[in-house]
Amino acid sequence: MQFTSTPRGARLARRLVSHRLNDWGHPYTTPTNETLTLIAAELTANAVRHAHIPGRDFHLRLTTTATTLRIEVTDTRTEKHPSPTCTTPPPSADSESGRGLLLVATLADNWGCAPRPNAPGKTVWAELLR
């Protein structure tokens, strides 16, 4: 699905993830729904805050298999690829930002970043194993 690169777009994407997971049999208050919704919130907020290009939207894809739930957030910014190793130093204790990917790395079973196929940009993805 396509969303505007605005805080409202990120909020709508997060809510869609929660509703879709509920429809797929992971009720709102379950750890699976809450965890993947939090991951969605972080990835979509990053797409809006760090990868926003005026006039360009971000895309969200949520898939499921017998063993995995996967979320993908694609933006059109080609630079600023996050590192799955989180080698950047953690933010200071009084910093108001900088912990989103640390949360994703802690909550997800796998996550990473790949170039966007057939277009400029990148896809940041995260997986939860069932």
Structure tokens at 45: 């907020």
Q: What is residue 118's predicted lDDT score, i.e. its pLDDT?
A: 84
CA distances from 110 to 12, 33, 38, 57 (A): 24, 17, 15, 25
In order along its 130 residues, the chain shows pLDDT tens digits of 999 889 999 999 999 999 999 999 999 999 999 999 999 999 999 999 877 777 789 999 999 999 999 999 998 877 666 666 554 566 666 666 666 788 899 999 999 998 888 888 899 999 999 8
Sheet holding 58-64, edge to edge: 2-3, 58-64, 68-75, 122-129, 110-115
Q: Find tokens 């969605």 and name the residue.
A: 40
Q: What is residue 36's predicted lDDT score, i.e. its pLDDT?
A: 98
Q: What is residue 129's predicted lDDT score, i.e. its pLDDT?
A: 95
All domains in the chain, ordered by first residue: 2-88+95-129 (3.30.565.10)
Q: What is residue 29's predicted lDDT score, i.e. its pLDDT?
A: 96
Q: What is residue 98's predicted lDDT score, i.e. its pLDDT?
A: 60
Task: Tell how strand 68-75 and strand 122-129 pair up.
Answer: antiparallel
Q: Where are the strands (E) in the chain, listed by range?
A: 2-3, 58-64, 68-75, 110-115, 122-129
